[in-house]
Amino acid sequence: MTDLERARADLVIANRILAHENVVDAYGHVSVRDPRDAKRFLLARSVSPEMVVPPDIMEFDLEGNALGGDARQPYLERFIHAAIYEARPEVLAVVHAHAEEVLPFGITGAPLRPVIHSGSFMGEQVPVWDIRDKFGDTNMLVTNLPQGRDLATRLGGNNVALMRGHGFVAAARSLIEVVRMSVYVPRNARVQMAAMQLGAVKPLSRGEIAARNAGYKPQSPETWRAWEYWATRAGCKELL
Ligand code: MN
């Protein structure tokens, strides 16, 4: 298997996991930077993540243009991915999803915070991006590069940003990492919401977040364990 074939198979697995874990539904997407060329990324054609198969994967440049004369319909919001890869050279994988659990934190003043150990990877701060601040009344979708770049600017050096009234983006150094973060961010949001009904919330400290980051090893058996588990649950063990 070439690096490109491996990346394509891993991207299919990521799509199927995110669908099976209810992070995405008919909408939402995940991409990976092209292992052969840092100025390109891989993203499925406009199809629901649960249905993605390897031939659906398209290639794009960092302006969101499809490469190789591929005329299939791409996702309208591919500019989210293009702009984040452009702004963040260390980022190798990006997720955009509409998970309902995070939405209240994008439309109120209540900040989303890591409150459970598995939520630590969102980092200390989760900025909220509001498309209306710069672009006025839109259809709320990120449909061009300037909008994508504005979102990437708001994300800054963080791992996750909320999109007001829409969803979230997550950026990481690997597909496994971005999938894990995207699975746990909504669960963290659900726990935080429940906790806020009981009383004041105690988030993870800066030191606890740092300690968990320091202990994270991309190639460790613990990291692979979750990927294998989720892929098997999602019915695509044969792609591992
Ligand atoms: Mn969207």
Closest by CA position to 97, among listed 178, 145, 189, 166: 166
CA of 31 to the centre of ligand 1 (A): 14
Query: Is pLDDT of 217 > 90?
Result: no
- The pLDDT tens digits for 83-117 are 999 999 999 999 999 999 999 999 999 999 999 99
pTM of the prediction?
0.98
**Domain residue spans of the chain:** 3-239
CA of 216 to the centre of ligand 1 (A): 29
CA of 220 to the centre of ligand 1 (A): 32
Query: Catalytic residue among 5, 21, 59, 77, which?
Result: 77
Residue 144 in tokens: 């061009």
Query: Is pLDDT of 21 > 90?
Result: yes
Residue 147 CA to chain centroid, in angstroms?
Answer: 17
Q: Cα–Cα distance between 93 and 227 in angstroms, integer?
A: 15
What is the model's pLDDT at position 128? Answer: 98
CA of 129 to the centre of ligand 1 (A): 13
Measure the CA dihedral 68/71/76/82, to 10°.
10
CA of 42 to the centre of ligand 1 (A): 18
CA of 217 to the centre of ligand 1 (A): 30
The answer to whether 42 and 71 have CB atoms below 8 angstroms apart is no
E-only strand ranges, the chain: 29-33, 40-44, 57-61, 93-97, 128-129, 160-163, 167-172
Cβ neighbors of 226 (< 8 A, separation 6 or more) are: 176, 180
| 77 tagged catalytic | yes
The answer to whether 54 and 13 have CB atoms below 8 angstroms apart is no
Q: Which of 105-114, 196-205, 214-223 has the lowest mean pLDDT?
A: 214-223
What is the model's pLDDT at position 215? Answer: 83
CA of 207 to the centre of ligand 1 (A): 33
Question: What fold is seen in the domain 3-239?
Answer: L-fuculose-1-phosphate Aldolase (3.40.225)
Closest by CA position to 77, among listed 3, 162, 145: 145
CA of 141 to the centre of ligand 1 (A): 6
CA of 2 to the centre of ligand 1 (A): 31
Query: Is pLDDT of 174 > 90?
Result: yes
For residue 43, give the 3-state DSSP assignment. strand
Q: Cα–Cα distance between 84 and 60 in angstroms, integer?
A: 13
Query: Is pLDDT of 135 > 90?
Result: yes
pLDDT band with cut points at 50, 70 and 90 for residue 216? confident
E-only strand ranges, 101-181: 128-129, 160-163, 167-172
- H or E segment and range at residue 183: helix 175-198
Residue 49 in tokens: 């993540």
**Mean pLDDT over residues 8-33, rounded?**
98
What is the model's pLDDT at position 220? Answer: 87
